[in-house]
Every structure is written in C-alpha cells, then in structure tokens.
Amino acid sequence: MSFLGYRRPDGSVGVRNHVLVLPGGLVSQKICEFVKGTCTVITPDHGTGRTARDRETVARVMVGLALNPNVAAVVLHGVGPAMQYPELNVNKLAAAIAASGKPVEVVSEQPYKSTLEVYERGIKAARRLVQEASELRREPAADGELVLGVKCGTSDSTSGIAGNPAVGHLYDHVVNSGGTTFFGETTEIIGAEHLLAQRAVNPEVGQQIIDAALEMEETAKKYGDDIRSINPIPANIEAGLTTLEEKSLGAIAKSGTVPISGVLKYAERPADKGLYFVDNWMSSNSIHLGYAAAGSTINLIQWGGGAFVADTLLYPSQGVVSPTIWCTANINTYTACQESIDYYSGTVIEGSETLEQAGDRLIDLVRRVASGTMPKTDTLNYQEANKIYFRDAAF
C-alpha cells in the first residue's frame, strides 16, 4: 500500500470523492451552493457560437471531468442554449459517462416549467448522490494507480536545476510503478523536441512530438509572431533565462527520463498507462482543466521566480475535481509564499539534499495528498474561472 483511495466501477482509483454538477453555469453554481460535497466547472467556454470542432472539445472536457476517478457521481442538467447542439446533448453526455458504471442523474428543463424547478430537482438529486458517495470508504492502493499532470511556470534557473528534475524523479517513479503521467506545453519544448522524440516508444510517437512543435511554430507565424522571439517571456528573461532552447531544456526535465508512450490532444484520455506528452497551451487555468479531463487525479505546478509569486493564492482549483500541489526550487518564491507552496526543492541547490532525496520527499507528499491531505491552496473557498483550450484561439 502507498495511499488510500476510492475504487471506482471502471477499476480506476480516485483520491477525492466529489459529486460533479455539469455543465457549468447558474444552475450548477446554485446547486453547489446548496449541497456540500459537490463541485462544478466555472468557464465562459460553454460551446455557444463555437465551431463543431470546438464543441467537441467542450464535450470531451465535460465527459472527461465526469469520468475522472475523483468523481463519485454526476448531476447533468440541460439548461442553456449550447445543450441544443448535438455534440453537447445532455442525454448523449450522460450515456458516455454512465458507460463507466458511475451514477448519473439527468435533470433538464423538460417537463418542468421553470428554471427554479430545475434547481429544486437538481438539489434533490445532488443531495442523494452526495449521501450515497459518503458511504464509500478509502481502500489501499499502489503508486501504479496514480495519475498525475504537471505544468511549470515563471521558469528561472532554479526550475531547470532542481525544481523540474525533482518532479521528473516523481514521474519516473510513478511510471515505473505502472502509473500514468502527463506533461505538455508545446511552446515549452521547442528547441528540445528532438530530445523528447528520442525517448518515444516508437518512431511514430517521436514524429508526432516533432510535428507538434513544428505546427506550433508555424501557427504562430501565421499570426505574425515568432515563438523564438517572444518566448522566453519577459518574466523568464528577468529571472535569468536567455533563449527558448535554454528554457525548453529546463522545462522538459519535469517529464523525467522514462519512455514517452504517446502524444495526446487536449483533454484526451490515454488508452493505456505510461508517460504522455499533451499538445496543449501554456495557460495554467486551461492546462490543469485538460489534465483533469484526461484523468489526472493530482496536478502539480512547478513555479520559478520570474513573476509576481503571490498570485498562487488565486489558483486553488484549476483542476476542478483534482487537487493542485504547488512546488518551487526558488528560495525567494518559497519565502514569499509559504502559505501557498507545498513543496520546496531548493535544498538541492543549497546542498542539503541530493536530487533523489528531494524527489523521494515529493513522492511522499503526493502519497499523502492522495490519501486525503489538503494542499495549501485547496484550503481556500475560492474557484478561479477556467478557460478551455481551443487550438485556433491560442494566439
């Protein structure tokens, strides 16, 4: 045993036990205000006015969040104009979720005569599902049943020296134990994509990594931007980074050293376990939402020092259903934000720990969070709005 989790009907193991209310919006928010143990996604990206491809992305995110192992049951309501699109039909979404064996309650505006009636029915359904979920008990689970996602941000020299390598040590351990891990930010591998391609399980996956980086560069040029001139961003430069290649070499360290099993679209669920590169954008409040929709049960943010570090207080719930562990190797960031930072690996730079010792300490923290320990920012009763990543709208 390495942690205590909730076993789901599809064989996955959750580290939390939420009842999720979907889609986002006023109805979901009101249900969650009334019923403890519920949560919802707050996002302006509900699908109205979007292309069919973007609506498919919205549906993939919604279904993926519902299938996340941290979700015990789901309430789906059909209020909102976007639900009239075939991709977002509430019964279609419900069928995709119910196939996992997870309880799903559908509450639509029909045959009810007002939104207030939908509130009432939704609250009653949520209360019942929460009470039923409370009967579930944590059971012993192994590290191979963990699913993790990571994003690095405001990168500086400490990120590449200690912060990201410590996460990489964790990733190697989880994958070698039979688990699943995600890393991404396609803009952050440019200049180092050939090194990642060499770690691919086969030439096809390696070429997909190369193609993802090339497409990101070419897309930027279509909008009149050169990724290599606008990245590193000013905050990275202020923190000491000089080139995109230098930034990328530090960023990819968070993926560890194990083979890369595949390349996934945003919010795409993997077919098997292993390490996956996700072709996504750099924004924190879209990346962690996408990882949670792909199945991550815990997300990590590895923070450097090239920005206003106290804004960590603003992002306690980026994964909606998945807790977030904040990490840094920068002593200034850690000192300024001890109320928000969960893990400090600057000890490697200071010489008081080896990378392996610091990485093992992170493994222990992840196990504790998986068993129910709350990361610091998750103690805040606040939810930041999440943006869904649409590829054509990235630039």
Question: What is the structure's pLDDT at 392?
Answer: 61
Question: What is the structure's pLDDT at 395?
Answer: 44
- C-alpha distance across the termini of the chain, in Å: 45
Residues 6+ apart with CB under 8 A from 221: none
Question: What is the structure's pLDDT at 228?
Answer: 66
Measure the CA–CA gap between 372 and 131, rounded to whole angstroms.
19
CATH class of 18-135: alpha beta
CB neighbourhood size of 76 (10 A):
25
CB neighbourhood size of 167 (10 A):
30
Question: What is the structure's pLDDT at 337?
Answer: 86
Instruction: Give me the helices (H) in the chain, please.
Output: 26-34, 52-67, 90-98, 115-133, 157-158, 164-176, 193-198, 203-222, 227-230, 234-238, 244-251, 284-294, 331-336, 347-350, 355-370
pTM value is: 0.94
Domain spans in the chain, listed from the N-terminal domain onward: 18-135, 142-393
Strands 180-183 and 274-278, bridge-based pairing: parallel
* Peptide bond just before 203 cis, omega within 30 deg: no
Closest residue by Cα to residue 372 from 70, 12, 68: 70
Question: What is the structure's pLDDT at 239?
Answer: 57
- State residue 281 phi and psi, 5-degree precision: -95, 175
Structure tokens at 149: 């996602």
pLDDT tens for the chain, 395 residues: list them: 699 999 999 999 999 999 999 998 889 999 999 999 999 999 888 888 889 999 999 999 999 999 999 999 999 998 877 888 999 999 999 999 999 999 999 997 666 568 888 899 999 999 999 999 999 999 999 999 999 999 998 888 899 999 999 999 999 999 999 999 999 999 889 999 999 999 999 999 999 999 999 998 888 777 777 666 656 666 665 555 667 677 788 899 999 999 999 999 999 999 999 999 999 987 777 899 999 999 999 999 999 986 655 555 556 668 899 999 999 999 999 998 888 899 999 999 999 999 999 999 999 999 999 999 999 988 988 777 888 998 765 44
The DSSP code for 259 is P
Question: What is the structure's pLDDT at 376?
Answer: 92
**Dihedral angle over CA of 137, 39, 322, 343, nearest 10:** -100
Which residue type does 37 have? G
Starting at the edge strand found earlier in the chain, the sheet holding 274-278 runs 260-264, 274-278, 180-183, 147-153, 298-303, 324-328, 343-344
* Peptide bond just before 23 cis, omega within 30 deg: yes
Tell me the DSSP string of 58-108: HHHHHHHHHHSTTEEEEEEE--SGGGGSGGG-HHHHHHHHHTTT--EEEE-
Structure tokens at 224: 């009149």
- Residue count (the chain): 395
Radius of gyration in angstroms for the set of CA atoms belonging to the chain, rounded to a whole number: 21
